[in-house]
Structure 1
Amino acid sequence: MKKYILFYLIIPFFSIAQQPAETIQRFFDAYSVGNKAGMREAITPDFKLVENGEIWTLDTLINRMDKGRPADFKRINQFEILASQVDKNSAHVFYKNRALIHAMGRDRQVNWLETAYFIKQKGQWKMSNMHSSIDAAFQTNWELNGFKKADAENPIMKPDVRATYYCPIQKKLVGWENKNVLNPTALVYQGKVHLLYRAQDSLGTSRIGLAISEDGIHFTKQASPILAPGEDAFRQYEWQGGIEDPRVIETEDGQFLLTYTSYDGKTARLCSAISKDLQHWEKLGPMLASPKYINMWSKSGAIVGKEINSRVIAQKIDGFYWMYFGDTDLFMAKSTDLLHWEVCENAENQVKISVLQPRSGYFDSRLVEPGPYALMRPEGILLIYNSSNAANFNDTKFPKFTYAAGQALYDASKPYRLINRSKQAFIWPDKDYERVGEVNEVCFVEGLVHFKGKWFMYYGTADSKIAVAIRR
């Protein structure tokens, strides 16, 4: 962290508002090392902090500090004065607060714009009030950020060894989710969050279960899977690996379209199913059904949709529905009816067009893979995507093969045209249940709903459990 210390930023800060600035410096230096007594010495007894719209006391700040600070936490504070007014016994200072933070083996920079009010007590400047907000000049306005993991409740779903189901292929009861639950999709239906999740039995066969919640956090599971391999026309694609990693979107006529990966033990194929009630599903088979692609590895289909009153409905662009797919690069397919899909190819060489690729030196250096549906927003088409960190030439903040999520923005009228892309992961494994499991170091996002004024993002952890992060 020493390489980040920039003393030249602090010198002009003091030169303009000497005494109040020293109080700010003392307060944050004490905060950085967890010195509660030092923090109290810099403030008045009735100190209040307005932090992004919430009113905190010093005790609020200390409680959050105690709960969220790992053992390797380090913070270096840098300040730049923007304006100040100092009278005989009171002062206002408006400044930039730039913090360089090391935690959980990783470095990040956070920037705030802050205003502090001071009063002089016994010859000493004491901070009475502070207003703090993230500096918009350091943010991009297209990313859907600000998610906080629900630490008190996570993981919100675990495997259940008691859940049994009569498998029509094995012709016996099986514990259909006794090994892992993971990688859920989600939607709001009839005023409740419905979570469609992947469940694995002891042999590793996957099926899709359904759980329902009134608050987006506490779910009641249904006893049997809603979609599973069976004695039907699609058994050849689904047995015995099963049905994996669902992603759901509504159709304009009020039905539900589910994309999922079928796995026969050798080849993954992107498939779909449709339902009117989330309970009864009609399998539609492989989505990339042309002779060229029917036996080619494909998975993870995220269809472009628009949020309308908490419903995400598939939308046409230039006469087509569009879908991102793939688990190395990202590719695209288009459809006029959501049933028949055409892979988007380069007309010169008839090769799939790649619209997102891994990047050497970044968190997504090994592979990229779609997350939930792709969301139409005023800035363009927002795609949350999952990624893996390569074994070398990677992001050294993360262990090799870490799964973390980023965001990409595409042109609203040309969904194959990349406009912007996050330089940092916005969610990554830093909890025990995310770091150790069937596959270590995994946060894999597939579910996103706008529910009761908040965004709920659901993700698989270490390919073993399910967790949620919330954006208010």
Structure 2
Amino acid sequence: MNHNTKAQNVIQVKKEGIIISKTDLVFESDSVLNPATIKVNDDLYLFYRAVQKGNFSSIGLCKLSGPLTVAERYVQPVLSPLLDIESQGMEDPRVVQIDDLYYLTYTAYDGVNAMGALATSANLVDFTRHGIIVPVFSFTEFKNRAERSGALNEKYGRYAHDHIQIRKGKKVLLWDKDVVFFPRRINGQLYFLHRIKPDIQIVAINELADLTKAFWNNYCDHFSDHIVLAPKHDHEVSYIGSGCPPVETDQGWLVIYHGVHDTTTGYVYSACAALLDLNNPKIEIARLPYPLFAPGTAWELNGVVDSVCFPSGTALYEDTLYIYYGAADSSVACASVSLRSLLNELLKFKIDKP
């Protein structure tokens, strides 16, 4: 069933306001945005993308006492570019804890290519970098493999740079961003979402070592089997992307993602919500037919990039789900919602099984 995209939003979402803004410190003098969040004991760690002049990104850290109060903010990045693949930026982090290890994913940007990478830590202080964990293909290589399992949505080509082979001396590759791990193993496997525009794809592996060239060859040969969410409603018609790490609930995995639609004044990024099956998250259970929240305040409508709500982290305090997001690519903001109310609303839009 494809529900009317004009359905009314009955969920009460509170815009809590800006949590942190840029400072005069060099590493975050241009903007701060798109945070990862994780609760550890009484602290809420907030890893954020910090941008300095010239669009060079590193990852900053502040700790919150409760969901909204900044208790400590570091004056230097906790992670800065070291590898060639991230020479111009470590962007848009997300973080989860699986067993005794923290998985912090980010987009590695070398000035030409933007691709999902991973760092792990046992203590959120010392990190081991694992490099790129998404497929390393040119768009043409990807397309040739993906079309073995059926025609590829023409939008994949629209967002590619296949007419450019080399830029700044580097091979132009398929952009694959927004890598987000599920916060526990499912049936013994690690799962993560990633995004090759315009859809969100899903990966299941036994261990990180499984992510070999042969694995990705086979994955792309059966690419259509791995698309978990595709644009469906007006507010996400251009493309969608992974957002916050999935939240485990009694009704399924709650996925807060971003949906994008093009307008005469540019793209508009909204926060969206869907439910995936607990035991098989490749199955979509339900999806809101309207944005969970959209740009509406001054700090969301006007900034480095106008009209952006980019959700990337959550924290649950009793029944209140706090959603942390980049606002207009300029600051880190927060919105809150009743988790139970959100689930109840989502279940009104369950997807009929064929």
- Quickly name the TM-score band, shorter chain normalised: 0.7 to 0.9
Partner of 1:441: 307
TM superposition shift of 1:321 = 1.4
TM superposition shift of 1:449 = 0.9
Matching of residues 405-420 of structure 1 within 5 Å: 405-420=271-286
Unaligned runs of 5+ in 2: 1-5, 143-171, 339-354
1:301 aligns to 2:173 (yes or no): no
TM superposition shift of 1:147 = 3.1
Q: Distance in 1 between matches of 2:222 and 2:200?
A: 16
1:368 aligns to 2:234 (yes or no): no
Partner of 2:167: none
1:335 aligns to 2:205 (yes or no): yes
Q: Distance in 1 between matches of 2:115 and 2:136?
A: 12
Asked whether the equivalents of residues 7 and 289 of structure 2 are also in contact (C-alpha less than 8 Å), the reply is: no
Partner of 1:157: 20
Alignment partner of 1:281 out of 127, 138, 143: 127
Q: Distance in 1 between matches of 2:106 and 2:128?
A: 13
Q: Distance in 2 between matches of 1:290 and 1:238?
A: 14
Task: Write the deviation string for residues 259-303 of structure 1: whole angstroms up to 9, x where unpaired.
Answer: 110001111111000112212211111112667789432111121
TM superposition shift of 1:332 = 1.4
Asked whether the equivalents of residues 333 and 344 of structure 1 are also in contact (C-alpha less than 8 Å), the reply is: no
Q: Distance in 2 between matches of 1:295 and 1:336?
A: 26
TM superposition shift of 1:416 = 1.3
TM superposition shift of 1:189 = 1.0
Asked whether the equivalents of residues 193 and 203 of structure 2 are also in contact (C-alpha less than 8 Å), the reply is: yes
User: Alpha carbons of 1:341 and 1:375: their partners in 2 closer, same or farther (altered >3 Å)?
Assistant: farther
Match of 1:237, SS? helix
Match of 1:383, SS? strand
The one-letter code of the counterpart of 1:203 is G
User: Alpha carbons of 1:110 and 1:410: their partners in 2 closer, same or farther (altered >3 Å)?
Assistant: closer
1:148 aligns to 2:1 (yes or no): no
Q: Distance in 2 between matches of 1:108 and 1:347?
A: 36
Partner of 1:237: 85
Q: Distance in 1 between matches of 2:331 and 2:119?
A: 24
1:249 aligns to 2:101 (yes or no): no
Matching of residues 53-68 of structure 1 within 5 Å: none
**If the length of structure 1 is used for normalisation, what is the TM-score?**
0.58
User: Alpha carbons of 1:286 and 1:110: their partners in 2 closer, same or farther (altered >3 Å)?
Assistant: closer
Match of 2:235, SS? coil
Match of 1:155, SS? strand
TM superposition shift of 1:424 = 0.4
Q: Distance in 2 between matches of 1:227 and 1:367?
A: 29
Matching of residues 26-425 of structure 1 within 5 Å: 109=8, 146-150=12-16, 154-161=17-24, 163=25, 175-219=26-70, 220-230=72-82, 235-240=83-88, 242-252=89-99, 254-288=100-134, 295-305=173-183, 314-317=184-187, 319-326=188-195, 327-338=197-208, 340-341=210-211, 349-351=221-223, 353-359=226-232, 362-391=234-263, 400-425=266-291
- Which structure carries more relative contact order (alpha carbon 8 Å, separation 6+)? 2
TM superposition shift of 1:345 = 8.1
TM superposition shift of 1:250 = 0.2
Overall identity of the aligned pairs, in %: 26
Task: Write the deviation string for residues 177-235 of structure 1: whole angstroms up to 9, x where unpaired.
Answer: 000000001011131111000000001011001101112212131111111112xxxx2
Structure of larger gyration radius = 1
Asked whether the equivalents of residues 269 and 295 of structure 2 are also in contact (C-alpha less than 8 Å), the reply is: yes
Q: Distance in 2 between matches of 1:348 and 1:209?
A: 34
Match of 1:390, SS? strand
